[in-house]
Structure 1
Amino acid sequence: MKQCSVCSKPAVYHVTVLKNGDVKELHFCEMHFHDYMEKPQAKSPEEAFVESLLPDSDLDERAAEDEQLICPNCGISYREFREKGRFGCPHDYETFRERLLPLLENIHNDTVHHGKSPKRAPLDSGNQLRLIQLRRDLTRSVEREEYEQAASIRDEIQKIETELENSDSE
């Protein structure tokens, strides 16, 4: 889902502006779309509206922040997420957390899931995620020949695996 070109709310109106062979897409929430439609079009529609709401430096700053906010796991940037509307991996929820919370609140009126969970989902997906991270850390420690650290990571992995096996058998 695209975000408003002016604020972080979900865009419900999408405008395509053609000028001198250039194609620009604008995305607006309800409020900013009505503001856009009421503004006189002195310059290009995009320039006139966006300039009236935010200085250029704020827009440039926001675009630069979107480009620099990158998931360390899959490498997707927040800008790519906004354009495609899809995440690259589950870690994106944590990486983009600050930007997602207002978006989720606007869409769902809440930031916590209160619905059903899949029956086949592991009971403790947090431990599953922790195992994945620990195994990656273990591999790095061995590659760096940090054997003491690798041993402590191995022990932690075994502890979590034992907890998971015990919870599965109950």
Structure 2
Amino acid sequence: MNKQVMCEQCHKKVASAWVTKIEGSEVTKFSLCEDCLKAFSLKISINSQNLPLDSYFNCLNDKEFYPERLSNFKMCPKCQLSFADFMQTGLLGCPNCYQFFGQQLRPLLEEMHGSLEYKGKIPVWAPVTYVLNTELKALKNELFSLISQENYEAAALIRDKINTVKEKLTKA
């Protein structure tokens, strides 16, 4: 997995921002934690006005200021993958990403698969006999388990379901 980058200013916290400073022809790149970034006295130009960096970040923290873009820059705390990186590659970085990006993944998964609920490995186009045979096998396993637990009432219900599935198989 990705190694966490430490702040180059305080060397105590994990960096959450990467700054590129350009002065003339000299380019300097460095990583800062949130606290050091806020304390940083760099001036930036927004709409041809020189504003302190903290003014810029105050408007970024405003929830009404393109919240859908801000969510793309959240990074998984385990592997440092951003949602923008996921959208570019189509690959999540670690198991934690599923939970961390869950709110953003749900609509994508629902659009791709038609549902958020797992429906099994059987494709929709599978022949009816295949589906019924698979169901029959699962019911027989459940029946065996219930009999071994001496749960005969539940086993009788499963036996009836098995008979119903067998009838459907003969008609199919």
TM-score (norm: length of structure 1): 0.31
More strand by share: 2
More helix by share: 1
TM-score (norm 2): 0.31
Larger RCO, structure (CA 8 Å, separation 6 or more): 1
